[in-house]
Amino acid sequence: MQNLKDFTLEIAEEEIKYYKSSLNKKNEEFDEIFKRIDNNEQEMENMKIENTKLKEEINILNKKAKNLANKLSNKENLYQQKIDDIKHLKEEIYKKIDDNKSLNNKLSSMEKEIGKEKDKIKGIQCRDINSKIIQYFYLSVPEIEIIKKEKEKEKDKK
């Protein structure tokens, strides 16, 4: 405690200077704090802007990802459809091959029958007698009629 007797104008002025300088220091500290707050607020604002931009980019990338996923799904569906089409075509091919084999067998048997009929027409017939094949001439139709029929067939072919 100071004694009021010792309190002089000079001491009061000294104290005022001291408090002013302390107040200036505190004001400078406050200014520094406010500058840092302003800087932080500016950084926060920049971060918000960056976050907004990043969110927009994420949305764009998500849309692109969805589009690509849809395209991939469509391509996979198309690919599966093509595989199914190929399987179906293979089945048709195998069916056609079987039909062709059947027709070839029928054609072959018909050719054999025609060959037998030609042999009959020519007067040759085969018989199995006691496990021996004996060829003999079978003349059921006179030879002149056979010649006429062959000539008619040749005319029809032309």
CA distance 125 to 139: 10
- What is the predicted pLDDT for the residue at 28? 93
First-to-final CA distance of the chain: 149
- What is the predicted pLDDT for the residue at 9? 80
30 φ, ψ (degrees, to nearest 5): -60, -45
CA distance 149 to 122: 12
- What is the predicted pLDDT for the residue at 55? 96
| 151 torsion bin: left (phi>0), alpha (psi -120 to 50), beta (else) | alpha
Amino acid at 84: D
H-run or E-run covering 129: strand 124-129
Domain boundaries, the chain: 49-157
Q: Which ranges of the chain would DSSP assign to H, the alpha helix?
A: 9-122, 143-157
CA distance 24 to 30: 9
Residues of the chain short of pLDDT 50, as ranges, are 1, 125-141
The secondary structure of residue 134, as a DSSP letter, is E
